[in-house]
Amino acid sequence: MNEHLVVVDLGYGDAGKGTVVDWACATLPVHAVVRFNGGAQAGHNVVLDDGRHHTFAQFGAGTFRGVRTHLSRFVVVDPLALSAEAEHLARLGVPDPFGLLTVDRDCLLATPYHVEAGRRRELARGAARHGSCGMGVGETMAYRLEHGELAPRAGDAPRELTRKLTVLREALGVGGPPVADCVAVYRAFAERVRLVDSSYTNGLVRRGPVVFEGAQGVLLDERWGFDPYTTWSTTTFANALELLDGAGAARLGVLRTYTTRHGPGPLVTEDPALELPEPHNTTGPWQGAFRLGHFDAVAHRYAAEAAGGVDGLALTHLDADVSRMCVRYDRPVTFAEPDRTARLLRASPIYEDGVSDWPAAVSHVVGAPVWLESYGPRARDKKASRPSLR
């Protein structure tokens, strides 16, 4: 492998980015994983051959392999959640999780105040909830857009952080822990991790192959998704390409052999009769139900186009007993139109049954070759078909 790899989900998330990144770090000469969007709401599941399992949120999914993680400036960092994640990794045998981590000083900080404000906002929506993860990431992004440089960042000195958190708490009108307690926790965090400036990513890229690990999915993108059921995050390749600054990279899109969604919003192919094992994705108190549907070729083709195209695909869940693909909708949906969400919610799928060669079918739909086939959650369950990925 002589180039970098950017991993992006071409669905609503949960397609298997974690297992793909873990496989890449186990088999390729990768020296770092760079996270380039999202925050603590990510949930990338990795299962090792010995049965150990971890849901990666802020640490990169290559951590079990000893591969370093860098949280770029596009990531919303939650030090409290990160500490809990590090403790779990340590219990699973990772000797020094924080020793494998670097954080850009410009990363926005998610705080308990953002969390409380975001949850209040979601509860106030009642039956019209958007499906928030309840982690305060969207509230953090919204606050930065409204208040600019007053938004707390990972590299803020204690005095500046105190001032910002005081203003933040008042502006959001929430309770939560005393500001002094938050400052103490965040400064302890800053002493445990290595804070770097934004030029650090350039050094990583020059040093050798890097995997850029995306969060969530293109169909949830803040621009290309289906408002209001979207994330406050750029889920396409855009952030990673900006960080690469012209360096070559292979763009890998990840898809399941069936389409899933966490929480409310369009899922044209949803089928309550589908019963497939899902050990790591369940109904959550904030995000809502984990929903299953047949492969939606229309939506996934749109996602690939919205992302600017892909060079190759990783197709997961090839061990699932599914054989149905939605090839079109019963009514036209123009994804460029502002009312696309309403149109999708009214659309019904038209299916092609009897799909058996999923790699060929999905390759035809997206217009890109399947480079990696996944028949289970472990790295050993993967089969690479592209020479540079073997």
Residue 231 annotated as part of some ligand binding site: yes
* 43 annotated as belonging to a binding site for a ligand: yes
Q: Can you tell me the distance from the alpha carbon of 140 to that of 79, in angstroms, rounded to the nearest whole number?
A: 14
What does DSSP assign to residue 212? Answer: E
Q: Residue 53 and residue 43: Cα distance in Å, rounded?
A: 12
Asked if 364 is an active-site residue, the reply is no
C-alpha 344/C-alpha 268 separation (Å) is: 7
**Cβ neighbours around 215 below 10 Å, total:** 28
Q: Is 14 annotated as ligand-binding?
A: yes
What one-character-per-residue DSSP string does 92-161 give?
A: TT-S-GGGGEEEETTPEEP-HHHHHHHHHHHHHTGGG-----SSSHHHHHHHHHHHGGGS-BTT--HHHH
Q: Judge whether 44 is annotated as a binding position.
A: yes
Q: Identify whether 14 is a catalytic site residue.
A: yes
Q: For residues 51-74, b (16+ Cβ closer than 10 Å) or e, as one string?
A: eeebebbbbbbbbbbebbbbbbbb
Give the three-class secondary structure for 250.
strand
Distances from the Cα of 291 to the Cα of 53, 57, 204, 266, 327, angstroms: 22, 21, 38, 11, 20
Identified catalytic residue from 9, 22, 44, 300:
44
Q: In angstroms, rounded to a whole number, what is the distance separating the alpha carbons of residues 324 and 270?
A: 12
Angle separating helix axes 112-124 and 137-147, nearest 10 degrees: 100
Of 14, 22, 156, 221, the active-site residue reads 14
Question: On the CB side of 176, how many CA atoms lie within 13 Å of its CA?
Answer: 22
Extract the tokens encoding 255. Answer: 């898809």
> Using H for helix, E for strand and C for coil, what is the string for 13-60?
CCCCHHHHHHHHHHHCCCCEEEECCCCCCCCEEEECCCCCEEEECCCC
- What would the two tokens of residue 23 be? 């496989």
∠ CA 282-287-292, rounded to 5°: 50
The first and second tokens of residue 260, run together, are 């899933």
Cite the annotated binding site for GTP by residue number. 43-45, 317-319
Cite the annotated binding site for Mg(2+) by residue number. 14, 43
Cite the annotated binding site for IMP by residue number. 216, 231
Cite the annotated binding site by residue number. 14, 43-45, 216, 231, 317-319
State the catalytic residues.
14, 44
